[in-house]
Structure 1
Amino acid sequence: MTAPPAPSLEPAVHVAGLRRTYAGRTALHHLDLTVPAGSLTALIGPNGSGKTTTMRLLLGLDRPDAGTGTVLGAPLHRPARYLTKVGALIEQPALYTRLTGRTNLRVLSRLAGVDDAHISRALQLTGMDQQADRPVATYSLGMRQRLGIAAALLTEPRLLILDEPTNGLDPLGTAQLRRLLRTLTSDGVTVLISSHQLNELDATCDHFVFLHQGTTLFQGDRNALGASQRPSVEAAPEHPTQLPELADAFTEAGYRARRHEDHLLVDTAAGRAGDLNRTAAAHGITLARLAVRRPTLEEAFFSLVGQGPQSATEDAGSAGTSQGPHPC
């Protein structure tokens, strides 16, 4: 990559009131989105929530029916002013399967008017340099995905937009992508990414946007996300057979305790952990674990939607589970 741009207080993306309707179906309804410059932002929501539509609007592949905004400081309705500084992979990459990976990138570099030196850099960054001279027809799905990301990096963009980039990647490829994205943001590149792998977004991203039914539920950094959620503490007895007894003890003390695998989730602030410990001790129960718990992205999403995930934790003593859409 070239030298990172000077830090800017202006967000890489800032749009407000985006609306897009297809054949009477509203895909986006007054959507607001801010992507801080230099951030690694996750776009999260169920299928049909508007993630891909939002990315297509930012890339000028579609036009909003209403709404305003800027991308890299240029007006959203003038995509030609900013697209030369944007790289993207939306859905599956379009590749010539009879050509080698390197030749595919050479064709794209000619179309983009960039130097061939960028090809080697993009191949190295994505870990495809050793496979670049094989025909794309011999590539696995994950290899094609990585070549598509290499193509998105050819122009050394300031903004990188990736829709499901982990599709087809094995654990090694996913780890390589995580390192790549962190390298890019350390160089000043802004990354906007969507993925079905919420645990990977949780481990990688520093800014989060939740979409639901075409509108914005939440956007902010990890601290803001944590502050928006109900605090909880994990508590596990030394002897697993005492879990029901521990749940009853917490309930009698006025806490809401939910069973989750081999421990309880107790709805209370971290500062009350000492009280939980004393409650357990008063009932003759020794705790093997007592720790503040940060909600996962999936749990945060369902909390904001007001529904429970299909595999949600259960209230202590209850066998039922609530149903809801998976936030993919």
Structure 2
Amino acid sequence: MIEAVGLTKRYGAKTAVHNLTFQVRPGAVTGFLGPNGSGKSTTMRMILGLDNPTAGRVTISGHPFHKLPNAPRQVGALLDAKAVHGGRSARHHLLSLAQLSGIPARRVDEVLGVVGLQDVAKRRTKGFSLGMGQRLGIAAALLGDPQVLLFDEPVNGLDPEGILWVRNLMKRLAAEGRTVFVSSHLMSEMALTADHLIVIGRGQLMADMSVKDFISANSADFARVRTPDGEPQAREKLTGALVEAGANVLPEPDGALRVTGLPLPRISDVAHGADVRLWELSPHQASLEEAYMRMTQGAVDYRSTTDQRSGFLPPPAPGAWQPPAPVQLGWAETAYPVLPGERPNPYATAPGGATAYGAPAAAAPGPAPAGTAPQGAPAAPAQAPAAAAPAPEAPTAPAPDLTKRDSEDAR
């Protein structure tokens, strides 16, 4: 078992990890999630004794890593698949690790077979692809047959077959009673692999719970309702009837309605009473990705901006294809609005008292009155004159493509 208590790491004036306390228990795959720069890599390095904590402690099976007897036989890790001497073959790389730890040479051939590299065992690693390097790193982690395993982005560069193999490997290792700690940005893969989640943001703990509880705590179920595409008046009529019945209605980008506050049978009864045909009435349960995005939106350091060079593009030729105008959503610049019934998230608060979802912290989104723009959406532009004046010359100094919020990278 891995146990961290008050774990803190500072680099000068920068705090990369602050007061982290959690446990990674055996018999389950524990996912380690967080935005870039949140301190995940720093935390894993402290677990493995590669960085010393400024405060607090972290132990493996009750001991700091450097006090574990023959640590490679108890702990296996993949942090950087490129940390390999390019002039060595895959077998010689693993053999050198085995000799340093007193592991029999026959184990090298065993793990090469486990990860599927037996046919390229004599090739130099500098010619390996990213996926092959990942397999070699996993082989090195498994070399000592350890009870505790840490993996940082283990499926990076793998093809679909390799991703499935890693997923099944993690589950099998956990089923054997081992402690498996996996850091990843692939929410879809974590949803299929992890049993428990530890989520951090800007170095602080945000969640420590099962995947099911995490999704339930950071999302609200809703119903998708769609009326015939060629009958916009029916959509407006249904919206009014649902609001009158006590529902909260938000428009979806594809023209459907997102309805909360009423069960599906009641929505059907309201539509029937309003004499409106339905093309779709389906329940929606949030995915791990949606729940993760809701929780961590206020802890993201890097956000993209509008391309300042877009004004330099030549005008399209007459009759050329033009991209469709963006659909105005019922919330401002976000795909994850706060929904009724959703548990408040104290970490997702932006400066100035506004939530990370673009609405005041105390205000719940509601349907916009008919004929008015949704709250937070830009007002409709005025009618353009027949002959538009030439556009002013665009500025010559380009703005950066990325903006960094409040802090430096927390490694």
TM norm. shorter chain > 0.5 = yes
Deviates more, 1:21-30 or 1:243-252: 243-252
Name the SS for the 2:19 alignment partner.
strand
Match of residue 101, structure 1, among 73, 81, 90 = 90
Q: Among residues 290, 305, 323, which one is paired with 1:299 in the alignment?
A: 290
Contact 2:58–2:64 at 8 Å: present in 1 too? yes
User: Cα gap change, 1:151/1:78 in structure 2, threshold over 3 Å: closer, same or farther?
Assistant: closer
**Is the CA contact 1:232–1:267 (under 8 Å) kept in the aligned structure 2?**
yes
Whole-angstrom CA distance in 2 between matches of 1:241 and 1:209: 46
- Aligned residue number for residue 312 of structure 1: 335
Which residue number in structure 1 is paired with residue 245 of structure 2?
253
- After superposition, the Cα gap between the structure-2 partners of 1:20 and 1:313, relative to the gap in structure 1 and judged at 3 Å, is closer
1:130: which partner in 2?
A: 119
Contact 2:226 2:281 in 1 (8 A): yes
SS for the counterpart of 2:120 is coil
CA contact (8 A) 1:211 1:217 kept: yes
Distance 1:97 1:230, change over 3 A: closer
Q: CA deviation at 1:107?
A: 1.5
Structure 1 position 142, deviation (Å): 1.0
Note the alpha carbon deviations across 1:93-113, whole angstroms, 9 max, x for none. Answer: 421222221221111111121
Of 41-50 and 101-110, deviating more is: 101-110
Q: Is the 8 A contact 2:4 2:57 kept in 1?
A: yes
Q: 1:39, 1:206 within 8 Å by CA — same for their partners in 2?
A: yes
The aligned residue for residue 272 of structure 2 is 281
Is 124-133 or 242-251 further displaced after alignment? 242-251
Of stretches 148-157 and 174-183 in structure 1, the one that deviates more from structure 2 is 174-183
* Deviations 1:272-303, CA, capped at 9 Å, x for gaps: 2322232233332325342241x233322333
- Structure 2 counterpart of 1:267, from 248, 260, 269: 260
Whether 1:83 aligns to 2:71 is yes
Question: 1: CA distance between counterparts of 2:284 and 2:164?
Answer: 27
Equivalence for 1:8: none
Quote how far apart the aligned CAs of 1:53 are. Answer: 0.7
The question of 1:43 aligning with 2:60 is answered no
Aligned partners of 1:241, 1:119: CA distance in 2, in Å? Answer: 65
For the Cα contact (< 8 Å) 1:233–1:267, is it kept in 2?
yes
Deviations 1:249-280 (A, max 9, x none): 433433233444544443348xx232223223
Q: TM-score, normalised by structure 2?
A: 0.67
| Contact 1:118–1:154, Cα closer than 8 Å, also in 2 | yes
Moved more, 109-118 or 47-56: 109-118
| Conserved 8 A contact 1:127-1:176 | no
Distance 1:308 1:60 in 2: 27
Q: Alpha-carbon deviations, 1:166-195, whole Å to 9, x = none?
A: 222222222221122122112222211111
Q: Which residue of 2 aligns with 1:232?
A: 221
Question: Quick one: structure 1 residues 214 and 134, their matched pair in 2 at CA, closer, same or farther if it must change by over 3 Å?
Answer: same
Q: For 2:152 and 2:48, locate their aligned partners in 1 and report how far apart those are by CA, in whole Å.
A: 12
C-alpha contact (below 8 Å) 1:302/1:308 kept by paired residues: no
* Residue matched to 2:352: none
From 18, 26, 29, give the equivalent of 2:7.
18
2:105 aligns with one of 93, 116, 125: 116
Q: CA deviation at 1:13?
A: 1.6
**Contact kept in structure 2, 1:125 and 1:180, CA below 8 Å:** no
Q: 1:81 to 1:108 in 2, by over 3 A?
A: closer
User: How does 1:176-195 map onto structure 2 within 5 Å?
Assistant: 176-195=165-184
Q: For residue 132 of structure 2, give the secondary structure of its aligned residue in structure 1.
A: helix
Q: Which residue of 2 aligns with 1:201?
A: 190
Alignment partner, residue 6 of structure 1: none
Return the offset for 1:70: 3.0
Equivalent residue number for residue 3 of structure 1: none
Structure 1: gaps spanning 5 or more residues? 1-11
Is the contact between residue 71 and residue 82 of structure 1 (CA under 8 Å) also seen in structure 2?
A: no
Question: Normalising by structure 1, what TM-score?
Answer: 0.83
Encode CA deviations 1:66-120: one digit per residue, 9 max, x unaligned: 1134322x23375435833111011334212222212211111111211223223
CA distance in 2, matches of 1:253, 1:308: 37
Residue identity over aligned pairs, in percent, reads: 32
Q: Distance in 1 between matches of 2:159 and 2:117?
A: 14
- The unaligned stretches of length 5 or more in structure 2 are 301-332, 338-364, 369-373, 378-402, 406-411
Give the AA of the match of 2:245.
Answer: A
Aligned partners of 2:187 and 2:288 also within 8 Å: yes
Give the count of matched residue pairs. Answer: 309
Task: Indicate how the Cα distance of structure 1 residues 142 and 260 shifts in structure 2: closer, same or farther if over 3 A, else same.
Answer: farther
Q: CA deviation at 1:200?
A: 1.2
Provide the C-alpha distance between the structure 1 equivalents of 2:253 and 2:299, rounded to a whole number of angstroms.
Answer: 16
